[in-house]
Amino acid sequence: MQNRNGNMRAVSLLSGGLDSSTLLSLVVSRGYEVVALSFDYGQRHSRELDSARKIAEYYKVEHKIMKIDLRPIGGSALTENISVPDVDLENIGKDIPVTYVPARNTILLSIALGLAEVTDSSKIFIGANALDYSGYPDCRPEYFDSINETFSLATKKTVEGGHIEVEAPLLKYSKADIVRLAVKLETPLGLTWSCYKGGKKACGVCDSCKLRLKGFMEAGSEDPIEYETVPAFYKKYLNTRE
């Protein structure tokens, strides 16, 4: 949807991970004038934010980093001193994991809504995924239906006849689908970071790493980033490619 000046503008949430980076590639390819929005919310490391900066620079889009602090809320291995567990691939998604950050998407999308209104953007894009995901309740389709209904009532722009819609184009994509799309769009995958731990290399054992590697394996591609530990299933896959 075009804004009042005839230009398509959008806010695209950019964590620096695989999903949000592929999303930014997609939004740019659709011709939107994008403001990429990242958050320094007190997460356990800054590697994703470093990636977000590089990816925004790669696409030459305006990039804002909002600093908020979710650590006083706690309740997550990403915002307080709780260990990130090593997770078996077959158990991912069975329970809401300790890496779930309470109300994170609602908080971040609310800030994005304010930015969308000020920048006269008609869309807020988020790289949430409901298929190959870790069981987060705020990544479900019904959540986005609800948030859009609330947001339609929440701003001066919308009550005066304007439009701001939250869209999650990757919601029903598998991780393999996202990798295939990233390859098609020539997303700079080597700049992305998905690991919940902030080491020099991705850990390869957290659920985010394993879901990412599973996606590359099923897409028939090779992940360009380095891992401290290569899971057995991915190592076996690499051996078949040689």
Binned at pLDDT 50, 70 and 90, residue 7 comes out as low
pLDDT of 199 reads: 82
- Per residue in 175-207, pLDDT tens? 999 999 999 999 999 999 999 887 889 999 888
pLDDT of 103 reads: 72
| pLDDT at residue 85 is higher than 90 | no
pLDDT of 5 reads: 41
The CA distance from 78 to 46, in Å, is 11
| pLDDT at residue 129 is higher than 90 | no
HSE (CB half, 13 Å, CA atoms) of 123?
Answer: 25
pLDDT of 9 reads: 95
The CA distance from 210 to 140, in Å, is 21
Nearest residue to 216 via CA among 197, 199, 241: 241
The residue type at 13: L
| pLDDT at residue 131 is higher than 50 | yes
pLDDT of 39 reads: 93
| pLDDT at residue 62 is higher than 70 | yes
This prediction's pTM: 0.87
CATH superfamily of this structure's domain 9-193: HUPs (3.40.50.620)
Average pLDDT over residues 49-60: 97
Q: Hunting for tokens 């394993």 — which residue is that?
A: 210
Phi–psi pair at 198, nearest 5 degrees: -105, 40
**DSSP state, 77?**
T
